[in-house]
Amino acid sequence: MALAPPPLVDAAAPITRPHPKNQILWPTFSGYGNNGGSDSGEFPSLPAIKARSGARFPEPLAAFVETARNAQNRILVLDDYLFEPPGDQSTQDRYKQILCWLPIALNANEIRFLTKAHGRKEQQKEIRSLFNERVEAINKSTPRRVGMAKIEIRFTLGTKFPYVHDRFAIIDNELWHFGATVGGLHNLVNAATRGWDAVTHNAVRFFDDAWNGDNDAQRGGRHG
């Protein structure tokens, strides 16, 4: 009896991975989180709050960084203040923190950052240059990858879509919602929730709406 042929697999189809159940997490400080880490599953204690507040470089939410680095399909980030660091942290240090989400061995091809205008045009050009260098390194490191990785950055959130207060990220089909900077990069108490289905909640459609902008907003008018 002849065996049935194996099912065809579309090599170009995006890889989906199961995302965890809904969680709420707080970035804290090393040693104050779960199992001695920096991520906490509950509101941080006062010593943890003070340790994080006094740190020059607030530790990112480790769970988010790990998820981003293992993205198989896409990383979409919407955050007004993504590239603006708090306190005395330099902009270069903030750029490096975000670049850590994008390792040379990254599998995801679609990486888009939507934020508002930062500084002068020279600063925006510098940001794009740094991320262009990273995507070139990603594509060179895995020459046989399916498709080419592409990083796009738009500084139009405040002008072409001035309707958003929240910050969120979509990694593959998982929606993350942040109380402050995406990735847990703010040093004050803030939480993130994860485990939401981005498709079910129309998060990808909303991101694309914001990415493309609204003609009414660009003409200076708003509804309502």
What are 105-134's pLDDT values in tens digits? 999 999 999 999 877 788 899 999 999 999
Q: Tell me, what's the pLDDT at 175?
A: 97
Q: Tell me, what's the pLDDT at 55?
A: 85
What are 6-44's pLDDT values in tens digits? 444 344 445 566 778 899 999 999 999 998 899 999 999
Cβ-count burial of 125 within 10 angstroms (0-12 exposed, 13-18 middle, 19+ buried)? exposed
What are 137-176's pLDDT values in tens digits? 999 987 677 889 999 999 999 899 999 999 999 999 999 9
Give me the amino acid identity at 22: N
Q: Are 24 and 41 in contact (CB under 8 A)?
A: yes
For every residue of 119-134, DSSP letters joined together read SSHHHHHHHHHHHHHH
- pLDDT at residue 220 greater than cutoff 50: yes
- Give the whole-angstrom CA distance, residue 143 versus residue 166: 37
For every residue of 44-80, DSSP letters joined together read PPHHHHHHHHT-SSPPP-HHHHHHHHT-SSEEEEE-T
Q: What are phi and psi of 7, to 5 degrees?
A: -65, 145
DSSP class of residue 197? E
Q: Are 112 and 204 in contact (CB under 8 A)?
A: no
CB-side exposure of 28: number of CA atoms within 13 Å? 23
Q: Is 140 helix (H, G, I), strand (E, B) or coil?
A: helix
User: What is the rounded average pLDDT of the residues 173-189?
Assistant: 94
What are 65-111's pLDDT values in tens digits? 999 999 999 999 999 999 988 777 788 889 999 999 999 999 999 99
Q: Tell me, what's the pLDDT at 44?
A: 94
Higher per-residue pLDDT: 53 or 11 = 53
User: What is the rounded average pLDDT of the residues 201-215?
Assistant: 95
Q: Tell me, what's the pLDDT at 215?
A: 85
Tokens of 18: 């199961």
CATH numbers and ranges of domains, the chain = 60-175+198-218 (3.30.870)
Strands 110-114, 74-78: parallel, antiparallel or unpaired by DSSP? parallel
**Beta-ladder partners of 170:** 76, 175
The whole-model pTM stands at 0.87
